[in-house]
Structure 1
Amino acid sequence: MFLKKITTLKSVGRFKSARISGGEYGHFTLIYGGNGRGKTTLCAVLRSLQLNDPKVILRRKTFTATTEPDVGLLFDTGLSRFSAGTWSAPQPDIHIFDQQFVTENVHGGDQIDVEHRRNFYRIVVGPTGVALAEEVDRLDADATAKQSTITAEKKVLEQHLPAGMKLDTFLKLAADSAIDSKIEAAEKALKAVMDSAAISARKQFSVPTLPSLPDDFLDLLAKGVDGIAANASARIQAQLAHHAFTDAGEEWLSQGVPHIVDDRCPFCANPLDGNALIEAYRGYFSEAYEDHKAAITDMATELNKALSSTTALKVETAFKTVATDAEFWAAYCDHGFMPSEAVDRISEEVDALFVAAKAMLMTKAAAPLDPVASTTGFIEAQAKWAATVVELEASEATFEEANRHIQAIKDANAVTDKSTAQSALDALKAVKKRHTEPVLGLASNYATLLNEKKTLVDLKDDKKAALDAYDASILRAYEADINQFLASFGASFRLAECGKNYVGKQPQSTYCLRFDTSDVDVMKSNPDDPGFDTTMSAGDKNTFALAFFLSQLKRDADLSKKIVVFDDPFTSLDDFRRAMTAKEIVRTGGTDRAAQVILLSHDKFFLDAVHGLIHGANCTPFQISTSSGSSSIEPWDIEREVKEGYLHDHMRLQDFAEGRGGYARDMRLLMRPLLERYIRYRFPNQILEGKWLGDMLAIIRDDAAHPLTPQYDDLDDINGYTAPFHHDPNTTFDEDEVRTYAQRTVAIVGGC
């Protein structure tokens, strides 16, 4: 890129409506301008173009301008126009060394603060490092923003935290598919502890044996007596009926049979041999028969006991007690017992069976030798009861498992207190809460946010590692380059321990300034220790900044496509450093270096020094002049101004002092420079380049034997009078006063 010409400068700083004259700019373009004429404004225009920042120009709008800033810069690539507050074609390929560069990137005069070190770092690492650093910053900002969201979500989650539990512990609780049943069991366990007295007083499930027929009941009904004819009973009954002796007749016969002697009837004495009836009597009323009858009588007692209403009621009551106890225990455990509806049928069905069985037994008692078949009523009653027994036994079969649960509660109560049981329940409720809405959704979102943040942090760490690796090499190389330039400038210090840190998250350079073996850490500001402000002279500070800028140029791989601008780069430098600065500026525009070098200075002799070092390259000198309240840019005859400048200005001032021509406006700015050159030429080994009239007066004042001591007051008066005009050329003046001071000036330098 190459700036061919500034075509337009209106309403910007001193350039109210600048006249632009002269041809195109050369590979080296030297621009001379006194203080306050617009050099800084030109740099600002170029910086605005470089940064594409309209504010840089808009803030410099000419005070009394009635039109908006208007700038035209013609490049080899075309015209870049600033109009209506915007650039038509920004040009980023420009390097600018001026006070703003120094103040923003190197030091603030007496200190190097965090922003200086951050900007220093950005320049050192270049676009690659800046891109990595910005990516690190972006990821860090994203992670920070994500953390803000996480913090907000965490506060919402913490509102659901069980008492005494930390969030991390709560979130790590695993889901449990059986949690509801476990909570129910735990609630029952806690209730059991609370009701320990009632628990202790309650017994396990038990009922009496179910009512049932005596084992040999049916066998007895079918049984006869061996040796007794099957029809004996019928014949006896018939005989008793024939004699109308049914009441107690059988007893009478049984008592009489043992009194038969010699087989004769005790009543009629007739022989009884061969009497079938008597044989029937003897078998019927035998001991076996009596035992059989006794068994029937005993069976009646046993039947009454087995199927009595008392027995049935006792069983029924026991089952109902179990049902009541089951309701009690259900509050403490899932015992599994289910009451049977058959309980309500026990008394009725047992009674029906008893009645039917008793009727059959009475029939048997009436005819002991006759088998008694089961009646229909008995069969139905027995079947019903049998079915009921099945149901009751099924219910009773659950007693063992239920009693195991009941005993477990009793055993647990013996070793568990209320606090332990409550803690166990709370832990289970926490698990359920963790995996139930709204916590389930909140926790899921929270986990997603944490994972997203971790991803950002991991990416940031990866980018940071890449940036660290890149910086480790580039920072060392930059340190070497800066030190090489410092050595060439004859500086007494070097850059050392160049590195970086992330204080305040954004990376910043860290380094020391080494004086022999002593290091000054620019990051420390202990007022009792040596620091940047106490160890560095103004010239050292400028040299350091210039070395940094030149190192930046050296490491710019695309420098051959860029413009480099220097604005008064030698402030407070001694002769040697001024000379080296001139050489480095010329080297910057050397073969395969910058596409163009633009140098602005208020010192025409420094410009002449640079001009004298340029060989084989096009060099165009221009100057910023002022007239009618506006600065302009026009060609500048550097040869005449520098080589014959003293004599030329001397004659102009003398003509004005003697009334032979000239303008007071120009003369008021000519007196001080003429005096400065006069003193330099008269005392070349005492007054060095770069010293101005104020510095010279200090030297004279400190030396009572100085040859100019007699002229000190005049010099001091002239310096004081002309100073305001050099700071602001628009300062009002009186022509007669200017002529008076011009005469005093000529009196000092002598007529010619």
Structure 2
Amino acid sequence: MLKKIIAIKNVGKFRNSACGGDTTLARYTLIVGANGFGKTTICAVLRSLKTGDVEHVIGRKTLGVTEPASIELLLGDGVVRFDDATWNNTHPDITIFDGVFVAENVHSGEVVEIDHRRNLYRVIIGDAGVTLAEENAKLASDSRAKTMEISATEQAIKSHIPANMTLTDFIDLPKLDDIDNQITTQESKLTMIRQAASIAARAVLSELVLPSLPDDFMELLAKTIDDIGQDAEQHINAHLAAHGMAADGGDWIVKGIDHITVESCPFCGQNIRGLPLIVAYRAVFGDRYKALGTTITTMKTRISQAFGDTALARLDTAAEQHKNGIEFWGRYCTFDVAPLAYPAELANAICGLSQSALSLLDSKARTPLEAITTDETFTRAIAAYSTVQAQAAALNQAIRQMNAHTNAKKAETGSADVLRAAEADLARLKATKTRHGATVTVLCDNHKLLSTKKDDIDKRKTAIRKQLDKHTNSVVKPYESRINQYLDAFNAGFSITKTKHGYPGGVASSTYQLVINDTTVDVGDGKTPGNMPSFKNTLSAGDRSTLALTFFLAHLEQDEGLANKIVVFDDPFNSQDAFRRRRTINEIMKVARQCAQVIILSHDATFLKQIWDKCPAAERVAMTIADHRKQGSKITPIDLEKACQGRTANDIDDLHTYLSNSEGQHLDIIRKMRVVLETYARTTYSANFDVNDCLGNIVRKIREGGANHPAQALYDELDQINDYTKKYHHGEDLTNITPDQIDPIELTGNTKLTLRIVNALQA
């Protein structure tokens, strides 16, 4: 139990919270304070005391002061202190419902994010489940950390692993004592296999293929055009001879005939109709003559292709390949090289036959109407070529015999699979040597150790998660049911459904859906489009506040240690209607009767008064957080009964109304300012003022008390309000015929000052 806030110094608005008077707390402690005066700071102090997390305090150190933050609290088992940015002790038995609880566990900025889901999960599963969840989260974190360490080690090892070998296979390679000898032996074996592979891949010798004259060559030389008249041919020959064109005049005539389109000479223009010579031309140099010329030209092309330079180049290439083949196979086979030699006169014979054949075709082309007989040159060329053909036949016979030997040798050698297997064996041996080298051994041993540790962590994580799942499944549905009972009790127009858990990112979290008008709505997240129903656009501010409170209340119900807990509520009534306000009070009282102590902070004194009335008189106390200007906020006792007397509460409401929308009579507002301030001073400083002291007497007593008077910090402001209001409070001077004009701006400023003095000005 928190017995007393002895002092909070230099934290938030508290320069020094101590202010005299009896500030002993009770089992039912109610603290009233305007927004911005220090309620949230008190929650932060208690949260830091609960967890030992000093950031809750350090982050709220009073700005503009050099003195360090310090806190002194009296608990049931003694004094705890915060000095030098540390607590001398902690008190875990504290549970707080405030804006931090809502922002961490339910929503922030009207949306539900993954962190809310994770934190709400911890709220749902209770302390027993949280222990398992924390162990699961720690093991998941440890597993990820080990994975990162393993990955770093794997990267270092991979640079030593040969291609086509996995990391696991590399690490598992057994150590071989005679590894160097095994590598040498395998390298020798591989050399032999590679030679065998060359034999298997090498082609056998190719036979020599010689070109032959076309079968219709001799027939073409002897071909004539039989039905040409004797007289026409003689007439043309005589004409060509007379003009010295006997050799190639025929071609000239063939071309010219095609240009005779009218019955006149294309050269001289004379009439040529019926001339005997023209008739002879047309008889001799017709289509068959042209066809014969084409055949001769085609034959020349065929012979040039078969026996010309291109053919000789192919033979040269074949001869070089033949020579290389003999040289290669000579390393592995025994054979007589002489029969395998290409004919020595091969090229000459081909050239001779080609030239003589083309010469005969040239003659035929000059006199296509005459049969051409072979000459001596052609006869000798044929004889020489026949000799070469015979030699080629003998060569091919020798090649076939040779290839029989080489094919047998190829069959004796291994396949490509054998080569690949041998290469793989050598690579494995070399990898084994690398694997068991000093540097890599350390890496592999570390990898094994890390993997073993990770496996152990994962096994424990699996076991813990199994327990956590079992526990979660046992509490989720009852928790959801209890939440919905609370929502119904608060008259909320919605419920939740499909509450379940998962492990996104390895950390346990919860999810749920809303049910509104019998329609299921996903809560969504910050990325949910605004045109989609979700948490942020289907629940009002009051609904969200109610849901957060029900989560907290349901959590308390599951807390087996609630009887020993200090439960803190900071402004639990927020954006609620009158029904929910009363329901909130009832639920707080249920909690208060079950816990060790309840502390309720609120800016609404009348709300606290309703709770006060339900608390046992001997176990309740009310405090206020008052703003003492430069001295900061102070925690002092307050007479809640008097502070919430009907007329004063109504007067404060009227001041608020005027400040908000200028409603109310100006003179009435001025008079109510005095009433509110008098009531506040007499209830807040009851030991220093009489129950009948008016504002003027209160100001006088503070002035006479000097710096030691507890209300000294309020003197200047109270004096200002007193001067402003006293002329309207007393009877008027009838001799003064000029009525006072009330300045609305001045009235507004003094109204605001009055509300701030009594801690009723909304932040």
Q: TM-score, normalised by structure 1?
A: 0.57
Aligned to 1:665: 717
1:85 is aligned to 2:88: no
Residues 79-138 of structure 1 deviation map (CA, whole Å, 9 limit, x = unaligned): 111222221221111111111111111111311111111111122223332232232222
Aligned to 2:535: 532
Counterpart of 1:460, as a letter, is K
Counterpart of 1:105, as a letter, is N
Q: Which residue of 189, 196, 205 maps to 1:192? A: 196
CA contact (8 A) 1:486 1:547 kept: yes
Shift of 1:455: 3.0
Residues 394-427 of structure 1 deviation map (CA, whole Å, 9 limit, x = unaligned): xxxxxxxxxxxxxxx9978416567434312212
Aligned to 1:4: 3
Gaps of 5+ in 1: 201-327, 330-408, 671-712, 731-752
Residues 585-616 of structure 1 deviation map (CA, whole Å, 9 limit, x = unaligned): 111111xx110011111111101111122247
Q: Which residue of 398, 419, 432 maps to 1:435? A: 432
Shift of 1:642: 1.0
User: Aligned with 2:157: secondary structure?
Assistant: helix
Counterpart of 2:197, as a letter, is V
Aligned to 1:482: 483
Q: Which residue of 417, 421, 426 maps to 1:424? A: 421
Taking the aligned partners of 1:714 and 1:549, their CA distance within structure 2 comes to 49
Structure-to-structure mapping, 1:344-355, within 5 angstroms: none
1:578 is aligned to 2:581: yes
1:17 is aligned to 2:16: yes
1:515 is aligned to 2:512: no
Aligned to 1:637: 639
CA contact (8 A) 1:162 1:430 kept: yes
Aligned to 1:381: none
Residues 686-706 of structure 1 deviation map (CA, whole Å, 9 limit, x = unaligned): xxxxxxxxxxxxxxxxxxxxx
CA contact (8 A) 1:522 1:531 kept: yes
Taking the aligned partners of 1:32 and 1:197, their CA distance within structure 2 comes to 99
Distance 1:616 1:664, change over 3 A: closer
- Aligned-pair identity in percent equals 35
Aligned to 1:470: 471
Taking the aligned partners of 2:610 and 2:604, their CA distance within structure 1 comes to 10
Structure-to-structure mapping, 1:46-57, within 5 angstroms: 46-57=46-57
Shift of 1:559: 0.8
Shift of 1:457: 2.3
Aligned to 1:344: none
Taking the aligned partners of 2:433 and 2:446, their CA distance within structure 1 comes to 14
Aligned to 1:112: 112
Taking the aligned partners of 1:66 and 1:129, their CA distance within structure 2 comes to 44
Shift of 1:70: 2.2
Distance 1:92 1:75, change over 3 A: same
Structure-to-structure mapping, 1:353-364, within 5 angstroms: none
Distance 1:165 1:727, change over 3 A: farther
Taking the aligned partners of 2:494 and 2:746, their CA distance within structure 1 comes to 40
User: Aligned with 2:107: secondary structure?
Assistant: coil
Aligned to 2:33: 33
Distance 1:127 1:427, change over 3 A: same
Q: Mean alpha-carbon deviation: is it higher for 555-564 or for 6-15?
A: 6-15
Q: Mean alpha-carbon deviation: is it higher for 564-573 or for 494-503?
A: 494-503
Counterpart of 1:429, as a letter, is L
Counterpart of 1:138, as a letter, is K
Distance 1:422 1:623, change over 3 A: same
User: Aligned with 2:491: secondary structure?
Assistant: coil
Gaps of 5+ in 2: 205-330, 333-405, 653-668, 679-693, 700-714, 723-741
Residues 201-240 of structure 1 deviation map (CA, whole Å, 9 limit, x = unaligned): xxxxxxxxxxxxxxxxxxxxxxxxxxxxxxxxxxxxxxxx
CA contact (8 A) 2:44 2:57 kept: yes
Aligned to 2:661: none
Structure-to-structure mapping, 1:366-515, within 5 angstroms: 413-414=410-411, 419-438=416-435, 441=441, 445-515=446-516
Shift of 1:579: 0.3
Distance 1:728 1:105, change over 3 A: farther
Shift of 1:729: 9.7
Counterpart of 1:3, as a letter, is L
Shift of 1:75: 1.2
Distance 1:449 1:5, change over 3 A: closer
Residues 534-564 of structure 1 deviation map (CA, whole Å, 9 limit, x = unaligned): 1111110110111111111111111111111
Taking the aligned partners of 1:503 and 1:455, their CA distance within structure 2 comes to 22
Residues 369-398 of structure 1 deviation map (CA, whole Å, 9 limit, x = unaligned): xxxxxxxxxxxxxxxxxxxxxxxxxxxxxx
Distance 1:537 1:719, change over 3 A: farther
Shift of 1:648: 8.1
1:69 is aligned to 2:69: yes
Aligned to 2:336: none
Taking the aligned partners of 1:727 and 1:659, their CA distance within structure 2 comes to 16
Shift of 1:520: 1.7
Taking the aligned partners of 1:666 and 1:498, their CA distance within structure 2 comes to 56
Shift of 1:437: 3.5
Taking the aligned partners of 1:30 and 1:197, their CA distance within structure 2 comes to 98
User: Aligned with 1:160: secondary structure?
Assistant: coil
Taking the aligned partners of 1:413 and 1:561, their CA distance within structure 2 comes to 93
Residues 255-310 of structure 1 deviation map (CA, whole Å, 9 limit, x = unaligned): xxxxxxxxxxxxxxxxxxxxxxxxxxxxxxxxxxxxxxxxxxxxxxxxxxxxxxxx
Distance 1:666 1:174, change over 3 A: same
Structure-to-structure mapping, 1:36-185, within 5 angstroms: 36-167=36-167, 184-185=188-189
Taking the aligned partners of 1:545 and 1:614, their CA distance within structure 2 comes to 25
Taking the aligned partners of 1:652 and 1:727, their CA distance within structure 2 comes to 15
Distance 1:61 1:514, change over 3 A: same
Counterpart of 1:433, as a letter, is K
CA contact (8 A) 2:602 2:608 kept: yes
Taking the aligned partners of 1:567 and 1:91, their CA distance within structure 2 comes to 19
User: Aligned with 1:491: secondary structure?
Assistant: coil
Distance 1:622 1:446, change over 3 A: closer
Counterpart of 2:89, as a letter, is A
Count of aligned pairs = 481
Residues 669-693 of structure 1 deviation map (CA, whole Å, 9 limit, x = unaligned): 99xxxxxxxxxxxxxxxxxxxxxxx
Counterpart of 1:665, as a letter, is E
Question: In angstroms, what is the RMSD of aligned CA positions?
Answer: 3.9
1:653 is aligned to 2:705: no
CA contact (8 A) 1:7 1:20 kept: no
Taking the aligned partners of 2:84 and 2:565, their CA distance within structure 1 comes to 27
Shift of 1:512: 0.8
Shift of 1:445: 5.0
Residues 505-553 of structure 1 deviation map (CA, whole Å, 9 limit, x = unaligned): 2221111111142122123523321111111111101101111111111
User: Aligned with 1:621: secondary structure?
Assistant: strand
Distance 1:42 1:443, change over 3 A: closer
Shift of 1:664: 7.0
Shift of 1:145: 2.5
1:611 is aligned to 2:612: yes
CA contact (8 A) 1:589 1:597 kept: yes
Q: Mean alpha-carbon deviation: is it higher for 58-67 or for 604-613?
A: 58-67
Taking the aligned partners of 1:197 and 1:519, their CA distance within structure 2 comes to 73
Aligned to 2:269: none
